[in-house]
Chains A and B, each alone.
Chain A
């Protein structure tokens, strides 16, 4: 007499039981598709101002004139690529004679997973120059620090760029290769140092509290490498 499921033959569930079951199915489906074993435990929320800034920049990055991100998306229609925004843990480094901004980004790859970085940029806010008589440009440098090593003693120059500093602005530093090399090395913390030196002052260091909307962040477009593409890379 009791109705049965047409597809699987199991007895039909009550409405409440069905809803509970579907919620559990939905939760499990979301976790599986996001490659998560359990829901992330968020103990330390990113400040809302910083989050909104990053998401706005991420969106504007998709429609910027060189269309790089869009092209990469078209290339990887078959693969599921995704974007990561990572906020830095900030410490004031000591890059030798001049002060530097120390940034630490945390990434953890699950064992057996291999990630290919399609594109990655570091976003840094540089304050406007305090000296109106100086040239409106200054040199910004990004260094890679050895993990666990003393800052400033063991670091490699990743890139150098001229910045316009007649007014405060966001600047991007492409670090695709650096991030790929870091992920391939299976380390957990990517440590970078940034110097934008003007007469001993670092215009890239944060002026206000840590929850300012100018918190530096890293954006990466990545995708999971499957075994097939790994094989192709080895063969090549």
Chain B
């Protein structure tokens, strides 16, 4: 999975971090101090379709079928997250109780073309 840089135009992972103090959310989120959200961007030319690491997904199967049947010319490939990991959070809820939870699929780890 590529990391986005100034000269990368193909599908890549853009690092994106929000510090909770900067958005005044640190009063109710105890931990962590920020959120590494990250996101995917960039071009997905035809030769990159279905790579990397998305072969097992439902969408990849559909796209493969479309390619096999020669009807892929009308469909463009998209740059999407192929791997995510959870974010552990400790925060105050509306009743001032402290909640600790692992929120699934919050942090984009890698990107690929559908």
Residues in A lying within 8 Å of B, measured CB to CB = 5-7, 22-23, 25-27, 29-30, 33-34, 36, 39-42, 44-46, 51, 54-55, 58, 80-87, 106-108
Contacts and interface: CB of A to CB of B under 8 A. Distances in A.
B99 interface: yes
In the A-B complex, the 9 residue pairs with the closest CB atoms = A82-B101, A85-B98, A86-B97, A83-B100, A7-B78, A106-B95, A40-B94, A33-B103, A26-B37
B104 interface: yes
Contacts of B95: 86, 106-108
B83 to A, nearest CB: 17
**Most chain B beta-carbon neighbours within 10 Å: one of A30, A34, A86, A108:** A30
Contact of A82 (B23, B80, B99): B99
Interface in B4-50: 16, 18, 23, 25, 27-28, 30, 35, 37, 39, 41-44
A36 B78 contact: no
Main secondary structure of the interface of A (DSSP, over half): mixed
A27 B23 contact: yes
A39 B25 contact: yes
Interface residues of B toward A: which range? 35 or more
B93 interface: yes
B18 A23 contact: yes
A46 B90 CA distance: 14
Contact of B96 (A25, A55, A106): A106
**Most chain A beta-carbon neighbours within 10 Å: one of B28, B94, B102, B106:** B94
A188 B62 CA distance: 49
A40 B98 contact: no
B54 interface: no
A87 B16 CA distance: 35
Contacts of B18: 23, 26
5 contacts: A7-B80, A26-B37, A39-B25, A40-B91, A85-B97
